[in-house]
Amino acid sequence: MGRREPVGWVLLLALGLCCAQGGRRRNVLLILADDGGFESGAYNNSAITTPHLDALARRSIVFRNAFTSVSSCSPSRASLLTGLPQHQNGMYGLHQDVHHFNSFDRVQSLPLLLGRAGVRTGIIGKKHVGPEAVYPFDFAHTEENDSILQVGRNITRMKLLVRKFLQTQDDRPFFLYVAFHDPHRCGHSQPQYGAFCEKFGNGESGMGWIPDWTPQTYNPQDVQVPYFVPDTPAARADLAAQYTTIGRMDQGIGLVLQELRGAGVLNDTLVIFTSDNGVPFPSGRTNLYWPGAAEPLLVSSPEHPQRWGQVSEAYVSLLDLTPTVLDWFSIPYPHYAIFGSKTVQLTGRSLLPALEAESLWTTVFGSQSHHEVTMSYPMRSVQHQDFRLVHNLHFRLPFPIDQDFYVSPTFQDLLNRTVAGQPTGWYKDLHRYYYRERWELYDRSRDPHETQNLAADPRYAQVLELLQTQLAKWQWDTHDPWVCAPDGVLEEKLSPQCRPLHNEL
């Protein structure tokens, strides 16, 4: 499915907008985990029980090389819902509370485009983007009008909201976005429920009760410790709590799919499962290393059973989801200007061709500027086949740590062990984690843990130059305001546009 020029809406409707083969109406269900990773049987984690994700994987194509374009909650959700990286859509950091980041007013998001084309839109769970005029949903139960714990973690409440959405459905096709708050940490906001809110709704005194949830607890000795997490008792206990929360989400996914099945629409619905960014552990969320950017991605199409249960090695991005959904509904890609005459072009690609046959896609890009408002650490990245290049624009500053992760048992234990001079059980040390080189180049085929920076190695000079060129082109194509940083200033009325600062960088 290639990019198409806009055609008249009347013609689209006359051709049968949003209908599948045989005249059935096409729908989309997008399920999003919050800080989720590869803790599921679908991704070969045998230590955790996730029967519903595993069952969905058997009806899906499973992408092994899927990546977010930004490893931060609001920016990743805005990018997913617009097809534009954070530096282009304006959601530079977290949306709510004092941070107040918003997408630009002229951005045309997926719910906006779908609504204009006659698709009914709904969101249940975590929204975390704004303004409302850019991200309008016909049916909305989010943290903006309800408790995030109730609409994002109470799987019984979420099930009933899905049922309500389906019962009030009219004859339009629908796009339903179910955004779990699991398995996000909650030690910073609701510590009484545990590090990952794993106790919320478990029936114990003061914890409330979620009728449809059967809590699963795990022995810390049994969890799989990823290479980027310290192998310590504190981190193992942290992972065990995370597993319990993932189990709640997994059971919730089963309930959501059962509601669609009961309403008779599951076999007309494209189901997508992914996460917004990496897990909240060291090198994970807020980083553009593999643990911060790599995502689970299951795409289940009722019209493509030939690829059910297959694994794709294609390199894909969450920026691809907007063009995928637009193609599923046969809606043209948007062409508009956010500022001046610079026309927005989606740089992602539709995933629908990958549902027909394996696609030889090899390159994805990343862009991060903030997380919390105090965490300015702009980074840009490109992953091309086995090579990952990260450009740290503020490389002379220490890498910032967010509040939520700071209070986590894993990081507090890492800090305490470092200060006390004790072994950390970690593959890095804090100094190397905080202070990074301007350019980081890794060959993941030989160095899957990304520990050997090859950027200064003359044997990789051609690879470095190739990736730098690819990255710069993408930045120019997406109107990146940081394209000349850190050693130049962008002056659009002059030539060359990047004017030197002579700042010794």
Residue 425, domain member (yes or no): no
pLDDT at 22: 52
CB 404 within 8 A of CB 190: no
CA dihedral 6, 270, 279, 194 (to 10 degrees): 130
Amino acid at 389: L
In the predicted model, is pLDDT for residue 100 greater than 70?
Answer: yes
Residue 319, domain member (yes or no): yes
For the segment 85-99, the average pLDDT, to the nearest whole number, is: 94
Residue 130: phi and psi, rounded to 5, are -165, 175
Residue-number span of the structural domain to which 363 is assigned: 27-383
What single string gives the DSSP state of each residue in 264-324? T-GGGEEEEEEESS--SSTTSTT--SHHHHEEEEEEE-TT-GGGTT-EEEEEEEGGGHHHH
Residue 21, domain member (yes or no): no
The pLDDT-based confidence of 367 (bands split at 50, 70, 90) is: very high
291-322 pLDDT tens trace: 999 999 999 999 999 999 999 999 999 999 99
Residue 250: phi and psi, rounded to 5, are -60, -45
In the predicted model, is pLDDT for residue 17 greater than 90?
Answer: no
Q: How is residue 19 annotated by DSSP?
A: B
In the predicted model, is pLDDT for residue 12 greater than 70?
Answer: no
Residue 11, domain member (yes or no): no
In the predicted model, is pLDDT for residue 349 greater than 70?
Answer: yes
107-135 pLDDT tens trace: 999 999 999 999 999 999 999 999 999 99
3-state secondary structure of 27: strand
CB 35 within 8 A of CB 275: yes
| DSSP run (H or E) holding 67 | strand 61-67
pLDDT at 21: 52
User: In the block, which residue shows the tokens 């807020």?
Assistant: 286
In the predicted model, is pLDDT for residue 501 greater than 90?
Answer: yes
In the predicted model, is pLDDT for residue 1 greater than 70?
Answer: no
For the segment 372-400, the average pLDDT, to the nearest whole number, is: 97
Q: What is the CATH number of the domain that holds 256?
A: 3.40.720.10
Which residues are catalytically annotated? 73
44-77 pLDDT tens trace: 999 999 999 999 999 999 999 999 999 999 999 9
In the predicted model, is pLDDT for residue 4 greater than 60?
Answer: no
The pLDDT-based confidence of 492 (bands split at 50, 70, 90) is: confident
Query: 19-23, 210-214, 378-382, 463-467 — which is least confidently predicted?
Result: 19-23
Query: 29-33, 172-176, 323-327, 492-496 — which is least confidently predicted?
Result: 492-496
Residue 4, domain member (yes or no): no
pLDDT at 96: 87
Amino acid at 292: G
pLDDT at 494: 86
CB 338 within 8 A of CB 106: yes
pLDDT at 9: 38
| DSSP run (H or E) holding 238 | helix 233-262
In the predicted model, is pLDDT for residue 3 greater than 60?
Answer: no
Residue 268, domain member (yes or no): yes
Residue 52, domain member (yes or no): yes
105, 353, 417 from 102: Cα distances, Å: 8, 33, 39
pLDDT at 20: 53
The pLDDT-based confidence of 233 (bands split at 50, 70, 90) is: very high
What is the number of structural domains in the chain? 1
Residue 447, domain member (yes or no): no
pLDDT at 99: 86
